[in-house]
Amino acid sequence: MGLPNISAPSWLHAAQFTLAQPGYPFSLISLRESLRHDIIRGTTTTRTFCVSASRSSSTDVPKAQFTDTEVQDILTKITGLDLKKVFRPIRQQLTPPKYKLMTDTELEERYGVIYLSVSLTVIPKERFIVVREPSGTLRKATWNERDRIIQIYFPKEGRKITPPPIFKEENLRVVFEQDRHEDVLNQCVAQFEPDSAEFKNVLMLTYEDIEKHGKYDLLRSTRFFGGLAWHLVNGQRIDGLLVDMLQRDLLPDAVRLVRLFNLVHPQKQALLIPFINAVRGMSSSGGPTPPFTTLSVSRPAETVTHVEICRPEKRNAMNKAFWLEMVDCFSQIAEDSECRVVVFSGAGKLFTSGIDLMGMASDILQPEGDDTARISWNVRRIIAKYQETFSVIEKCPKPVIVAVHGACIGGGVDLITACDIRLCTQDAWFQVKEVDIGLAADVGTLQRLPRVIGSRSLVNELAFTARKMYADEAKSCGLVSRVFPDKETMMAGALEMAGEIASKSPVAVQGTKVNLIYSRDHSVPEALNYINTWNMSMLQTQDLMKSAQAAMEKKSLKNITFSKL
């Protein structure tokens, strides 16, 4: 399916982003492919992903710190876990120390005479060290002298008395050419204190070389990757790392990196980068995707499909074409072995205003038939066809995450109750509107909403009064599982969640959905018997062994390749 393009000028309000081509696709997969295409062709495109925000708000917003729990959680997750890298063998040659006796004259000429406070109650960094020059002058030891003497009296494993020559800038360049950045940092940690000027200098030179040559993967899955990411975020230079993540299909990590940037720079609009524009594009596409006229379908990630109601000029009202295209779309998705998760959203200012009364008037108000019996049969057939529009979501074995912003009215509630996971923005509201237009909801709300919320009294109240239910109440009663501050954040969260689900065995995930729906509609004994029969065959999958082995090796499932289903 073709993905809608949007011209570069519409991006200029957000960031200086000059493209060699006139149009640029909004989906992440297209962004990634375009970047790869540029690299292969060697084209020179100017991409200023992060721009300073001279017009940012003057309001003081707390800035995240490195030690904050959320920051540490993000850095840990984007670091990843590559067991081959973590446990790779390191050759370490052990050499015995060499001692040489010196005369008093040689000692004074080379080192002077040093007096040291050897109080065991004082930590080495706080010791006061006095040096006596050969002339008899007493002075405070320099930092280099302090480090050398402390290492002699209180030796630290792996630390040399004098810094190895590898840390000289000309030698570092040679080592960097051999891609030994991790070795340099390991030796740097052993040799210098973290607050020393030498430590900071080596660290900055290493990070700058990594960034300059785009060799981010050399530090991925090491203890230094989080520091690298933090350094780039603080310097507002996440461009290269973001592109690297997109090229490696690490989309959840890219989402986390953008989230970290937002935490560290809350006042700045520098977050307006192509990735966020791509996420925004998931809900602001250029139009329907042929052959559909009401739906936009794209692939923000290799195994994630994004479906969007795309009638923003009509407030995403559900017309005749929509009811038919939903069935075709989800029937195709159900058979698509590439797709493992679906994200569903609405374009424009709101999710959906519900049924398009003007477009559906002929079916509802003027049904065909020669007499009451035949009219009734035709109406029944029409209603059954409309019911299938949302039942097809349940029948699709792929988990469906629905992201709601703004209004979700009438048929919108029917739709979202057929989805597996419901997210919304803080400004979202829900309304079972049917009684206000003179009918009982007949395509899913009255059947599914009681099972979603669990409170029959609340369902009755919503259905009888047609009152609005806002995001906080929807969260508290269980209609949605998460509430986000705005649409862009919600779409990023939906994408991250979809990526997490897609990384797991499709046999396990799709089997779980099938059995959850079956158990909802049957007794416990019937559901147990069903899962018993189901797993009788589904346990005979290679995915089980792959997942178990990954768990034993403490390896992320993102590093496991599962066959298509």
- Closest C-alpha to 338, from 278, 308, 298, 279: 298
Active site residue 82: no
The SS3 of residue 422 is: strand
Active site residue 411: yes
Q: Which of 253, 434, 488, 543 is catalytic?
A: 434
Q: Which of 244, 356, 394, 414 is catalytic?
A: 414
Active site residue 434: yes
Active site residue 209: no
**Long-range contacts of range 221-228, CB-CB < 8 Å, 24 or more positions apart?**
221/79, 221/80, 221/81, 221/82, 221/85, 221/86, 222/79, 222/85, 222/182, 224/182, 224/185, 225/75, 225/78, 225/79, 225/80, 226/72, 226/75, 226/76, 226/78, 226/79, 227/203
* Residues in CB range of 531: below 8 A, 6 or more apart: 515, 519
* Residues in CB range of 100: below 8 A, 6 or more apart: none
| Cβ atoms of 260 and 227 closer than 8 Å | no
Q: Is 221 exposed, middle or buried (0-12, 13-18, 19+ CB in 10 A)?
A: middle
Q: Which of 74, 78, 355, 393 is catalytic?
A: 355
Q: Which residue has the tokens 């250029």?
A: 286
Q: Which of 145, 198, 442, 473 is catalytic?
A: 442
* Residues in CB range of 265: below 8 A, 6 or more apart: 53, 63, 233, 236, 271
Q: Which of 226, 348, 411, 412 is catalytic?
A: 411
Active site residue 501: no
Q: Determine the Cα–Cα distance for residues 198 and 224; give it in Å rounded to an integer.
A: 17
| Number of alpha carbons in the 13 Å side-chain half-sphere of residue 40 | 7
- Closest C-alpha to 490, from 394, 352, 354, 346: 346
Q: Determine the Cα–Cα distance for residues 169 and 171; give it in Å rounded to an integer.
A: 5
Q: Determine the Cα–Cα distance for residues 547 and 505; give it in Å rounded to an integer.
A: 8
Catalytic residue IDs:
355, 411, 414, 434, 442
